[in-house]
Amino acid sequence: MLQVAVVGSGPSGVYTAQSLVQQDRVPGVRVDVIDRLPCPYGLVRYGVAPDHEKIKSLQNNLRTVLEHDRVRFLGGIDIGPGGFPVARLLGLYHAVVYCVGAAADRKLGVPGEDLPGSHSATEFVSWYSAHPDAAADGFVGSGFVGGVESAVVIGVGNVAVDVARMLARGVDELRPTDMPQAALGVLAESRVREVHMVGRRGPSQARFTTKELRELGSLPDTEVIVDPAELALDPAYADPSGLPAAGRRNVEVMRGWAERPAQHLPRRIRLRFFLRPVAVSDAVGRVGGVRFERTLPDGRGGVTGSGQYEDIPAQLVLRSVGYRGVPIDGLPFDAGLGTVPHLTGRVLRAGAASPGEYVAGWIKRGPTGVIGTNRPCAKETVQSLLDDAPALVQRDVPDDPLSALRDAGLRPVEWQGWLSIERAEAELGAALGRGVVKIPDWAGLLAAARGA
Ligand code: NAP
């Protein structure tokens, strides 16, 4: 019987497991879904913003897969450097599918980006999502509470929209979410009044989706401000009819905002375009703002510098310029693309498909697309794996890989352990007079998983 390990329990990993157990070409496939964390769901738990309850409820669909008879969740197992080696894992299963996502953030490569007060959006997201690797004092020690009135978010993708919206939310809107208590306390005291979200190209080239963009305009006490003259630098602004549908809808939303009279609300999100970051400026050892060069469209979808500069003062800078895949020790890696080289999901070693090794999700195709994009991506990989199955099952593997993992000294958090964490988070929330509240640290998660 075909035994498969899926490494990573985010959407791509769970959709891979689902495709494997819901097909009938190779009956009876067994799947272990392994995760480094004791909690499943990857970026659905640790990336989707806490106020996006509807998207988070996708966890219920993913749960059904992880509770399938022939699927097991094995949390708390680190594969790769310092953890369980890739080669040994392949010895325990007929096939291993890596669905590890893109864990790092891209750098800007400008002076000052590592100054105190300048963070990657990923750090901020991890902190308010209670990721156990997020720095314990998170944004408390960075001066976030004291004195931040203006924040700059660099990038105009959906992550930028998420962090801008979280900065603009009031405590009453955040309390009903599952965000950790400490982060809620910090954001409750936030004095942020201006959030500048800045793109280096034009409004028609912004990467955010229209639903997410439109939501910014419906935040209580927050006004979205756009400068029609700046938007009009984009040739497609005056007549967006030739744009792809997503770009056209985005431009239409922004045109609506440009025509609206000022509302003078307490908080403002300023959408800015054609500004390329050149330095994060230093105000006595910490962030004082960002220097941008004004850009101009080059007529080919890109921009050129104009030699004119603008400084936006800010005490907090969030760099939201995309994720980047991280190499897994023992697997090939294309450092330029930040992905594992593959052919329809089969890992390529020196240009040839490596028997039994596969990839799906962001580590396969790069950090693009919405959650649903992972479904066809996983399906393609599973088709390749099933095509290879007759050869793969010829190799002897242990009857129960879990015993072998335990013999190697690992103590996986199984499904019951995760259910204990869920119960502990519900109890924590009840004790705080809130709904479910996430546990933000390794010790707390592992204690809850072991029923302590
Ligand atoms: P993204 O969509 O790739 O956006 C990255 C942004 O950073 C772009 O505006 C890009 O501009 C800009 N950028 C890149 N390098 C830059 C530089 N050196 N200087 C200035 N700007 C730079 O990435 P993301 O926002 O991290 O999102 C990742 C994926 O997750 C996306 O597919 C997104 O849709 C998805 N996601 C979805 C949701 C949702 O559906 N609610 C929520 C969060 C994330 P250029 O275009 O000019 O390169």
Number of folded domains that form the chain: 2
Ligand 1 center from residue 320 Cα (angstroms) = 7
Burial (CB < 10 A; 0-12, 13-18, 19+), residue 263, is: exposed
Q: Is residue 156 domain-shared with residue 14, that is, in the same domain?
A: no
Domain with residue 85: its CATH number is: 3.40.50.720
| Strand bridging mode 346-349 / 287-297 | unpaired
Q: Is residue 180 domain-shared with residue 283, that is, in the same domain?
A: yes
Ligand 1 center from residue 292 Cα (angstroms) = 18
Q: How confident is the model at residue 451 (pLDDT cuts 50, 70, 90)?
A: confident
Could you tell me if residue 247 is inside a domain? Answer: yes
Domain with residue 163: its CATH number is: 3.50.50.60
AA identity, residue 14 = V
The last residue of one of the domains, among 321, 349, 364, is 321
Q: Is residue 58 domain-shared with residue 88, that is, in the same domain?
A: yes
Q: Is residue 19 domain-shared with residue 132, that is, in the same domain?
A: no
Could you tell me if residue 418 is inside a domain? Answer: no
Could you tell me if residue 440 is inside a domain? Answer: no
- Checking if the pLDDT of 446 tops 80, the result is yes
Q: Is residue 122 domain-shared with residue 89, that is, in the same domain?
A: no
Per-residue confidence (pLDDT) for residue 138, from 0 to 100 = 64
- The 10s digit of each residue's pLDDT in 323-332 is 999 999 999 9
Could you tell me if residue 444 is inside a domain? Answer: no
Q: How confident is the model at residue 81 (pLDDT cuts 50, 70, 90)?
A: confident
Q: What is the mean pLDDT of residues 13-22?
A: 98
Per-residue confidence (pLDDT) for residue 362, from 0 to 100 = 98
| Residue 153 neighbours by CB distance under 10 Å | 26
Dihedral sign (CA 225, 229, 230, 232):
positive
Residue 231, classed as helix, strand or coil, is helix
| Strand bridging mode 287-297 / 30-34 | unpaired
Could you tell me if residue 428 is inside a domain? Answer: no
Domain containing residue 122: 107-321
Distance, CA of 183 to chain centre: 18
Q: How confident is the model at residue 144 (pLDDT cuts 50, 70, 90)?
A: low
User: What is residue 204's DSSP assignment?
Assistant: G
From the CB of 347, is ligand 1 less than 6 Å away?
no
Contacting residues for 189 by C-beta, under 8 A, at least 6 apart = 145
- The 10s digit of each residue's pLDDT in 60-73 is 999 999 999 999 99
Q: Is residue 96 domain-shared with residue 131, that is, in the same domain?
A: no
The span from the CA of 360 to the CA of 351, in Å, is 18
**Rounded to 5°, angle at Cα 103 from 97 and 108:** 140
- The 10s digit of each residue's pLDDT in 333-373 is 999 999 999 999 999 999 999 999 999 999 999 999 999 99
From the CB of 323, is ligand 1 less than 6 Å away?
yes
Ligand 1 center from residue 159 Cα (angstroms) = 6
- Checking if the pLDDT of 3 tops 70, the result is yes
- Checking if the pLDDT of 141 tops 60, the result is no
Per-residue confidence (pLDDT) for residue 45, from 0 to 100 = 98
Q: Which residues pair with 295 in a beta bridge?
A: 305
Q: Is residue 117 domain-shared with residue 216, that is, in the same domain?
A: yes
Could you tell me if residue 443 is inside a domain? Answer: no
- The 10s digit of each residue's pLDDT in 85-110 is 999 999 999 999 999 999 899 999 99
Kind plus residue range of the DSSP H or E element containing 404: helix 401-407
Ligand 1 center from residue 322 Cα (angstroms) = 5
Q: Is residue 20 domain-shared with residue 150, that is, in the same domain?
A: no
The span from the CA of 179 to the CA of 82, in Å, is 30
Q: Is residue 157 domain-shared with residue 295, that is, in the same domain?
A: yes
Q: How confident is the model at residue 137 (pLDDT cuts 50, 70, 90)?
A: low
- Checking if the pLDDT of 244 tops 70, the result is yes
- Of 113, 118, 207, the one to substitute when testing ligand 1's pocket (max ligand atoms within 8 A of C-beta) is 207
Could you tell me if residue 28 is inside a domain? Answer: yes
pLDDT above 70 as % of the chain: 97
Per-residue confidence (pLDDT) for residue 101, from 0 to 100 = 96
Per-residue confidence (pLDDT) for residue 284, from 0 to 100 = 87
Per-residue confidence (pLDDT) for residue 452, from 0 to 100 = 64
Nearest CA to ligand 1 atom 39: 158
The span from the CA of 293 to the CA of 311, in Å, is 9
From the CB of 207, is ligand 1 less than 6 Å away?
yes
- The 10s digit of each residue's pLDDT in 433-442 is 999 999 999 9
Q: Is residue 177 domain-shared with residue 32, that is, in the same domain?
A: no
Token pair in block for residue 116: 């105190």
Could you tell me if residue 436 is inside a domain? Answer: no
Per-residue confidence (pLDDT) for residue 440, from 0 to 100 = 96
Burial (CB < 10 A; 0-12, 13-18, 19+), residue 193, is: middle
Q: Is residue 214 domain-shared with residue 276, that is, in the same domain?
A: yes
What is the dihedral angle through the alpha carbons of 384, 323, 200, 213, rounded to the nearest 10 degrees? 80
Kind plus residue range of the DSSP H or E element containing 287: strand 287-297
Q: Is residue 20 domain-shared with residue 57, that is, in the same domain?
A: yes
- The 10s digit of each residue's pLDDT in 339-348 is 999 999 999 9
As a whole number, the mean pLDDT across the chain is 95
Is there a contact between 434 and 126 (Cβ–Cβ < 8 Å)?
no
